[in-house]
Amino acid sequence: MKDPIVTIIVPAYQRLHYLREAVASALKQTYQDFEIILSDDSASDEIAHYAASLGDARVRYRRNPKNLGIARNNFAAISEARGRYIASLHDDDMWEPEFLAKLVPPLEADSEISVAFCDHHLIDEQGNLLPERTESCSRLFGRDILKPGRHQPFIRPAVVDMTIPMAMAAIFRKSMLENAEIPHRIGGSYDYWLAYLAVKDGQACFYVPQRLTRYRVHENSGSNTRGMRNLHDAIYVRKKILSAPVVAPYRKNLENELGVFYGKMALQFLAHRSFRRGRIFLRRAFSLLNRPKSMAALVANTIRVLYRGTTK
């Protein structure tokens, strides 16, 4: 059997009601040369039965013998991918029908392009569009002013501005991961590490300015439920990237961002009345922050957390 062009990785964890919508959006793509690996990190019989009920040979179900977490679940599925391009579709997100049709051709046309990506909508738990938050998100990550088409090099937008939404709105070459280091503490920052891998050697990227993905914002999303662990992982991954010579021109930007994450950790500890550890992370944060706005925000948030604790 001929290998598919694209492997769609759908990392799943229990949320069958959202998963059905995610998979349906993948199966409705106008570009049809793909396989779907539904990678279940909850070992759910219900999800296994759902995958079987689809009756579609392009959908392969796999389950992990133990919970791996979002990053390792993705990489375990990627290791089994037959496609030369990888697209990630989280189990609570959705694609527009033209997602693959718009992003695959640039990769096929130019072997120097490592990743093709687009903009995305934000939606609420019920799937309703959130226009104001969507516009704010596009501005925050610089996609509102990014020119369509090919960009090379792309280090600063990818690593400093975090412009590439690798986890939900991008397709990248599987070959990008050959002999690539995958940090042992990667967790929820796996998409940031993938963006770094996509650009670290000067590769080209391709931007499609359309919003072809719907990213769901809800209380049970991974970014909300893995709070403290995600912060630990974010710090670890960003420290590794900071040590790379290729990012030297942007060191101050990246140090400030690392300081922001140390500050978030400090606030977590202070909120839980762990003052000693909170002070340690605060000192580290202020040693890295180099933007007055970031410093002022951390001071204000620290006062707010401490004041809240004294008024209980």
pLDDT tens-digit series, residues 77-94: 999 999 999 999 999 999
Provide the residue ranges of all domains of the chain, joining segments of one domain with +: 6-219, 244-310
**Residue 99: which residues within 8 A CB-CB, separation 6 or more?**
29, 87, 118, 212, 213
Neighbours of 17 (CB within 10 A): 9
pLDDT of res. 221: 58
Share of the chain above pLDDT 70, in %: 96
For the CA atoms of 175, 178, 180, 185, what is the dihedral angle to 10 degrees? 90
Q: What CATH fold (topology level) applies to the domain 6-219?
A: Spore Coat Polysaccharide Biosynthesis Protein SpsA; Chain A (3.90.550)
Give me the residue label for tokens 């409705």. 28
Q: How far is CA 79 from its chain centroid?
A: 18
What pLDDT band is residue 31 in, cutting at 50, 70 and 90?
A: very high
pTM of the model: 0.93
User: pLDDT for 191-233, tens place per residue?
Assistant: 999 999 999 999 999 999 999 999 999 776 555 446 788 899 9
Cα 103 from Cα 88, distance rounded (Å): 13
